[in-house]
A = this chain, B = another copy of it.
Amino acid sequence: MQPVAFHQTIADGSSVAEAVKATGLRDPLLDSPALLGVTMPFEKGEEIYGESEKAECIYKVLAGAVRTYNILQDGRRQIGGFYLPGDLFGLEADERYSMSAEAVVNANILVIRRKAIATASQRDPRIMGMLLSSTARELNRARNHALLLVKTAQERVASFLLEMASRLPGDTVELPMCRQDIADYLGLTIETVSRTLTQLGNLRAIEIPSSRRIILRNPKALAQLNS
């Protein structure tokens, strides 16, 4: 993302309301949105930041979905996580991003300069605590992701579906991402993901009315499918 982007503002008057809705009240990072960040739209597939760029901002998904990823030396892509409305991403230890970030579908993103956070946290020390707890939650996510990657294909897909079901609204899961994204998140091939979904359907654990829409018929069975 170019620095110039920060001079942009968007004409979408609904974004502030959207932010409040997506984030709830108990989030000091958004107490004064105009002060701390700007809302920006990203198109499906558009890059939000690239690996090893300077990490000058953190981001919050207001609408849509985002993926972070690394490209390995052999060209394979490993997706580190999916971020849905309400989620923060771009939290980094170093001064540079360790992954790239892209919009999975059209998305509205709240962009917050780290410097603004540093300044604001002098006024309100709770902001630091909030950042810390967000980072610790992200740490938990990363650890769970690592745990996923040592399980069988069935378990990985089942865990993925359960995770998505818990993070998305509604009881039928509407996946924002394609099979390739799922495969790259789970460390499997697209064929294995497809086969495994079919298989879970045959077991009556799930139902697949269309490729992006999945109904969890028997979540307990899914949770039990541990290798």
Contacts and interface: CB of A to CB of B under 8 A. Distances in A.
A35 to B, nearest CB: 21
Contact of A80 (B93, B135, B146): B146
A138 interface: yes
B227 A73 contact: yes
B128 A78 contact: no
A146 B144 CA distance: 9
Contacts of A196: none
A17 interface: no
B73 A147 contact: no
Interface string A61-102: 000000000101110101010000000000111100011000
Interface residues of A, number: 36
Nearest to A135: B135
Interface string A39-66: 0000000000000000000000000000
Contact of A98 (B138, B143, B187): B143
A139 B135 contact: yes
A134 to B, nearest CB: 9
Interface string A136-167: 11111011011101110000000000000000
B93 A139 contact: yes
B146 A149 contact: yes
A146 B145 CA distance: 7
Interface in A83-128: 91-94, 98-99, 125, 128
A133 interface: yes
A115 B135 CA distance: 19
Nearest to A80: B143
13 contacts: A73-B226, A78-B147, A91-B136, A91-B139, A92-B136, A92-B140, A93-B137, A99-B143, A128-B128, A128-B129, A139-B139, A142-B142, A149-B149
Given A99-B143, A132-B132, A150-B187, 19 more contacts: A72-B147, A72-B226, A74-B226, A78-B146, A80-B143, A92-B140, A93-B136, A93-B137, A94-B140, A125-B128, A128-B132, A131-B132, A135-B136, A138-B139, A139-B139, A145-B146, A146-B146, A149-B150, A149-B187
